[in-house]
Chain A
Amino acid sequence: MFDTKPPLLEMQGISMHFGPTKALDSVDFTCEPGEVHAVLGENGAGKSTLMKLIAGVLQPNHGVLRVDGKEVSLGSPKAALRLGLVCMFQELSLVPDLTVRENLLLGAPGAGLGWLNSEGLSKAQEVLNRIGGENIKMAARVADLTLPQRQQVEIAKAIMKKPRLLILDEATSALNASVVEKVFELVREERDAGTAVLFISHRFHEIEALADRVSIFRNGQRVATFMNGEHDYGEIIDLMVGQKIEELFPQKMPVLNDAEVVLEVLNFSWDTQVKDVSLSVRRGQIVGLGGLDGQGQAAFLMGLFGLLRKTDGMTSIAGTRIEIASPKAAKHQNVALAFIPEDRKTEGLILDQSIQENLELAALGRSDLDAGDAALYASSLEQLALKHGGFGLPVSSLSGGNQQKVVLSKWLALKPRCLLLADPTRGIDVKTKTQIYAILRQLADQGTAIVLLSTDYEELIQLCDETHVFFDGAVVASLSGDELTPQNIIAATLNMSAQVEADRA
């Protein structure tokens, strides 16, 4: 290629720091029209910061941004949009109280403070139809949509702006495979029409399927850029983490069939969302809960922790039947449940408070523990290798992975008999993941019963001793030992076995 034209976007010597932490350290990065450029890296590697700089949400401390060779400063998302730099954010940029239509109008090209024009709407509708969103009503409030639907709207909103550079930051994380394929087709079309696409995803196979070029970030620096296919999965992981990871998952230990049953649930039902679920967890066992989003597994976990009203069924801890009415009751030493909620930023932590205060919050209400005793947290913090600049700093100063370590340590201080986790590794870097896997396995070996809700098949297979797959509120498959295969889990997730039997009948 003898392309003498300047690249669509060029970043030179970009640095960005938040207080003492360097998110980006003199990064050079370019983006050509007509290519899909994938950006890979652990959480905290600087990918999201990079995207926010391009989208005008943040401004760099140092460095130059050029669009078409001309130096620009992007003071706000508005300025970026004017140049055709469109970002589909990981944290969705849709306004919850407005309708789909209004949200689309809000950022429509040429929308100002005056009369709204609805020209772009037909284009947006067309995009929605193409990516399986034809059921999304224009008059529906965004707050009433499901997460996948919101992502579809977000995609339509981005495309209708006729981007020159389209950033997809975890844009398809909640979409199922067939919709993802449709989205990819659309993205390829945009690319072929000359749009530059920046693509961030945690799903490696998506990168493989879509990317032309791949850049890898680590610790705020770009460590490699290469054509897709030049390196295999293992090499890429090595580049991302900076060291070889031979074993992601710890060795499973055989659970004795006569081990004490710690948690037993019989015929648990709630509303229409959880239907007649029964399961038991023995000492030393890690039990997985799988299924697509919103099949009742998350509600089931909440119910166990006393967050739901009017549940039916029977719960026993160590053979004693109990009613758990609230989280306060659940953490009492006689029950000793712990729950790691799905959203660590709004449910697991109080971001404005210090690491110390967050660690102590759960132990404070236990009469048998002295929450101020550092020894309660020391061992788990050490094993998880929490990286921090002092316990007095706000927990918001930590990266996502380290925040999750604080949540875990906060609850492990209570020495729970049974630990409930709602997708604890979502959006977390590989290294922290392995640390979390190791501590979960070790806890299990020491006798803790663990219930792990996960959207990651690998976790359900490699980490769990038994996995229950939810579909439409009920457990449709309970797999253990040799049955724990990706094929079986995927089939159960889509409730295919039932389908097959129905077809046979």
Chain B
Amino acid sequence: MLRQISIDSLMPYFGVVVLIIVGSFFFPQILSADYLTQQLQIAAFLGLLATGATIVILLGHIDLSVPWILTGAAILSTALVGSGNPVLNVLAVPAALAFGACIGVVNGIGVAILRIPSMVWTLAVNSMLLGVAVLNTGGFNPKGESSTLMVTMASGDVLGLPISFLIWIAISIALALFLVRTPFGRYLRSIGFNEKATFLSGVSTPSVVFAAFAIAGMCSALGGVMLAGYANQAYQSMGDPFLLPTIAAVVIGGTSILGGRGGLFGTIGGALFITLLTSILSVMQIDDAWRNIIFGVIILAMLLFQTLRKGATV
């Protein structure tokens, strides 16, 4: 775990500190505990998605099916709860996770067996999921509601810390340990660097790809369940605004989009940074246009800083 803490992965944390300091200069309320814990709560949704995305990006692939796995999981879980049946109510969250894992495996089959570029295949899977959702819900916001469990996961708190944040960090730590302690983690990075050599070293590379996409699918599904808990409902296209920030969070956290290099520690920072940036921009009541521009410029600046720093040492 410690090895993952490179300067790149510390960058977003540094950025978070700068944002808070600079932001508090204009808006002192940013320093309040309420505001900051609220940010942790919201960051958890993006963070869970980015955790899954990190696994896939380490593998050297990308998962563009995040939006509709998220939405699908939210629709599925709220529909099960909304049925009023107590058994289905209990099954809502596990069913949503199982759904995410299944779609992850479908992604994995296309990528590992059919060898379709993940960028294309997961995009196709995304549009099929969209199709299924539209067919089922009639294009309207789906009926249903969130269970108490879902609401608690999204909005509850323990010892002053949001439960959603604790879930996110617990999952990140568990996965980070999994990556460091098991061969799976090693295989993941090896495939990210050179899949052929990994296969020739006697590794069943397709299984690793399946597992990675399944984990990512479950992370997206969990994010969907918690977002549904947060909003107390599921709605069409609720996942769409999350796709690009998810990738941005991973990349800002120092994970190479080419695979192999990086880790979950940086992703946590990346998700915190992006959430805080978005929030501060809206607190400052900057309009949508400038928010987009500042968002893009800051991401570019951080990436340029990363590569320029490397350029100086090589």
Contacts and interface: CB of A to CB of B under 8 A. Distances in A.
A362 B193 contact: no
Contact of A348 (B183, B200, B202): B200
Contacts of A272: none
The contact size tier of chain A is: 20 to 34
B194 A346 contact: yes
A350 B202 contact: no
Nearest to A371: B183
A307 B198 CA distance: 13
A164 interface: no
B204 A347 contact: no
Interface string B98-116: 0000000000000000000
Interface stretch (A92-100, A261-269, A351-359, A383-391): A351-359
B260 interface: yes
Given A328-B204, A346-B194, A352-B193, A360 B199 contact: no
A351 B202 CA distance: 17
Most buried by A among B186, B187, B190, B201: B201
Nearest to A306: B202
Contacts of A339: 200
A362 B201 contact: yes
A331 interface: yes
B200 A350 contact: no
B196 A330 contact: no
Contacts of B197: 346-350
A348 B196 CA distance: 9
Contacts of B261: 352
Nearest to B195: A350
A331 B197 CA distance: 14
Contact of B202 (A328, A352, A353): A328
Given A352-B193, A353-B189, A353-B193, A361 B204 contact: no
Contacts of B204: 326, 328
B203 interface: yes
Contacts of A347: 196-197, 200
Interface in B174-212: 183, 186-187, 189-190, 193-194, 196-204
Contacts, number: 61
Nearest to B190: A350
Interface in A320-372: 326-328, 330-331, 339, 341, 346-353, 357, 360-362, 364-365, 371
Nearest to B207: A328
A339 B199 CA distance: 12
Contacts of B194: 346, 349-352
Contacts of B260: 352-353
A46 to B, nearest CB: 21
A364 B200 contact: no
B203 A350 contact: no
B200 A353 contact: no
Interface in B156-188: 183, 186-187
B198 A350 contact: yes
A101 interface: no
B57 to A, nearest CB: 15
Contact of A327 (B187, B193, B200): B200
Given A350-B193, A353-B193, A327 B199 contact: yes
Contacts of A326: 202, 204
Contacts of A348: 197, 200
Interface string B31-50: 00000000000000000000
B258 to A, nearest CB: 10
A233 B202 CA distance: 42
B193 A328 contact: no
Most buried by A among B190, B202, B260, B261: B202
Contacts of A365: 183, 201-203
A410 interface: yes
A332 B183 CA distance: 16
A343 to B, nearest CB: 9
Nearest to A19: B314
B200 A357 contact: no
B42 to A, nearest CB: 36
A362 B202 contact: yes
Interface string B57-99: 0000000000000000000000000000000000000000000
Contact of B203 (A307, A328, A410): A328
Contacts of B202: 326-328, 330-331, 362, 365
Between B187, B194, B200, the greatest number of chain A beta carbons within 10 A of the residue's beta carbon is seen for B200
Nearest to A330: B202
A327 B201 contact: yes
Contacts of B193: 350-353
23 contacts: A327-B201, A327-B202, A327-B203, A328-B202, A330-B202, A331-B201, A331-B202, A339-B200, A346-B196, A346-B197, A348-B197, A349-B194, A349-B197, A350-B190, A350-B198, A352-B194, A357-B186, A357-B190, A361-B186, A362-B201, A364-B203, A365-B203, A371-B183
Interface of A: 307, 326-328, 330-331, 339, 341, 346-353, 357, 360-362, 364-365, 371, 410
Given A350-B197, A357-B190, 18 more contacts: A307-B200, A326-B204, A327-B202, A331-B201, A341-B200, A347-B197, A350-B194, A351-B193, A352-B260, A352-B261, A353-B260, A360-B186, A361-B198, A361-B201, A361-B203, A364-B186, A365-B201, A410-B201
